[in-house]
Structure 1
Amino acid sequence: MSGWTNSDVPDQTGRTFVVTGANSGLGYQTAKVLVRAGADVVLACRNTAKADAVASELGPKATVAKLDLADLESVRSFAAGVTGADVLINNAGLMAVPFRRTTDGFEMQIGTNHLGHFALTALLLPKITERVVTVSSTMHQIGNIQLDDLNWEQRRYRRWRAYGDSKMANLMFGKELAARLAAAGSSKKSLIAHPGYASTELQGRSENFSDFFAKLGNKLPIAQPAADGALPQLYAATVPDVESGTFYGPTEMFGMRGAPGRSGYKKAADDAGFRAALWEESERLTGEKFDVGAAG
């Protein structure tokens, strides 16, 4: 693969990153590259046993903290323990899982992928000095968020549609956060990234026929290794002159693989009125309010 690679990550000595879901897949690859570049990395994970093994591999610059994004009390407890960081990478996620609910009663995918990260960012933003990177997916294209039924209480559950909704919510959140930071005169940035088609542990958890095709897809040439899938979020997190509000992803094979660059997206994400309504509903559901002007 030509273009921007791990070797192009600038020196990160003296910088601290919080990476959610850093015990496997894209999060693990991201944390590994950041540590090698000199950064201190907080592995924010639900499965601390797996995270401890990763920290042992990466060395003393990697530390582990418990974070279950499907439990707002866990989110608040984690955030209270963070004294400060330069960058927050909202990486963790679930994909097309069977219907179930979070501790707080949210549909699991919107609750984990979006609402958990929304609350986490609200709590950490005053402690973040530079930028927030939120990981979306090309599957945001199938998202069609129903604000009056965000948690699938009235509709028949469709796991892939719910996943697409959560990834569209990630994209809309990242863009709306960028707009609000700019309006507040903040120097902080909000970026969004997606991995294209990356072979990770995310696939194969739907518990239906789609698992077969997901696992088959991981073996085809269209799938890239997790290390390559992590490049767009590493680019968004480390390149100094990235433009806030930009969506980054692979630039080859219709955004499925290749070096990172600006990515196309469903233009519904530019609907500022809908983004604001989603923001307001997310604040209502999580009980967490943003102060985008805090600390800078």
Structure 2
Amino acid sequence: LGAQKKDFDGPNLGMGEDKFTQWGSYFDSKLANVFFTKELAKRLTAAGLPITAVTLHPGAVRTDLARYLMTGEDKMPSAAELGDSSPLTKAGLIAVSFFTRGVEKGANAQVWLAAGADGDGKYDKSNGQFFENFGKGSVNPAASDEALQKRVWDESEALTKTTFKF
């Protein structure tokens, strides 16, 4: 979802409050995950480590994430709390359930990838790839920009005061 964002103009990981929007920042973070993973894959390969790094969108999973994205704060009721709401709210929750996966199925894609399921079981073929719906997905063309990949990596290290050495 966010990995396909079309207007990504580079990471602004240390953005100020004046630039912050809940959905925009969420989408940027998903695309930053793609950049970071591609850079990680390159570094693992360069170090000769037999490790595959991938990123994925697991699909729409019924979590309480939306309650934070709507207002930016934990002010909205959780899905569990909404269950005791009006008939209209309950009908809305039922409708949403047709387009989303339950949490218990939401981790299936991660488990599938962790088991090495990239089509033919060859781990190296999927290094640095983005997956969605149990297959290779498409991302913003900027995700191939090696300078942006390195920039996201470098900014991540700077902001977390962590240096990864391979």
Bucket of the pairwise TM-score, normalised by the shorter protein: 0.7 to 0.9
2:131 aligns to what?
A: 248
State the AA in 2 paired with 1:166: S
The residue type equivalent to 1:219 in the other structure is A
Partner-residue secondary structure (3-state), 1:178? helix
- Structure with greater strand percent: 1
Alignment match, 2:95: 219
Tell me which protein shows more helix as a share of its residues: 2
**Cα deviation per residue 1:176-227 (whole Å; 9 max; x = unaligned)?**
101111122111111112111111222222353xx79x99477332212223
C-alpha spacing 1:264/1:203, structure 2 compared with 1 (3 Å): same
Amino acid in the other structure paired with 2:144: D
Contact 1:232–1:261 at 8 Å: present in 2 too?
Answer: no
Partners of 1:159 and 1:228 in 2: how far apart?
26
What is the Cα-based RMSD across aligned positions, in Å? Answer: 2.8
Structure 1 residue 230: deviation in Å? 1.6
Instruction: Provide the residue aligned with 2:21 in structure 1.
Output: 158
The structure showing larger relative contact order (alpha-carbon pairs under 8 Å, at least 6 residues apart) is 2
Deviations 1:95-143 (A, max 9, x none): xxxxxxxxxxxxxxxxxxxxxxxxxxxxxxxxxxxxxxxxxxx223337
Match of 2:113 in 1: 236
The 3-state SS of whatever aligns with 1:289 is: coil
Q: TM-score, normalised by structure 2?
A: 0.72
Question: What is the rounded CA distance, in whole Å, between the counterparts of 2:94 and 2:48 in structure 1?
Answer: 43
Q: Which runs of 5+ in 1 are unaligned?
A: 1-137, 251-259
* Separation in structure 1 between the aligned mates of residue 165 and residue 104 of structure 2, nearest angstrom: 34
Equivalent pairs counted in the alignment come to 143
Asked if structure 1 preserves the Cα contact closer than 8 Å seen for 2:22 and 2:70, the reply is no
Name the aligned partner's letter for residue 67 of structure 2.
G
**Equivalent residue runs for 1:117-128 within 5 Å:** none
Q: What CA distance in whole angstroms lies between the structure 1 residues aligned with 2:54 and 2:47?
A: 17
Separation (CA, whole Å) in 1 of partners of 2:108 and 2:41: 21
In structure 1, distance between residues paired with 2:105 and 2:142: 28
Q: Does 1:141 align with 2:14?
A: no
Identity %: 30
Q: Which residue of 147, 150, 162 maps to 1:288?
A: 162
Separation of aligned partners in 1, 2:106 and 2:148: 29
CA contact (8 A) 1:199 1:218 kept: no
TM-score under structure 1 length normalisation: 0.43
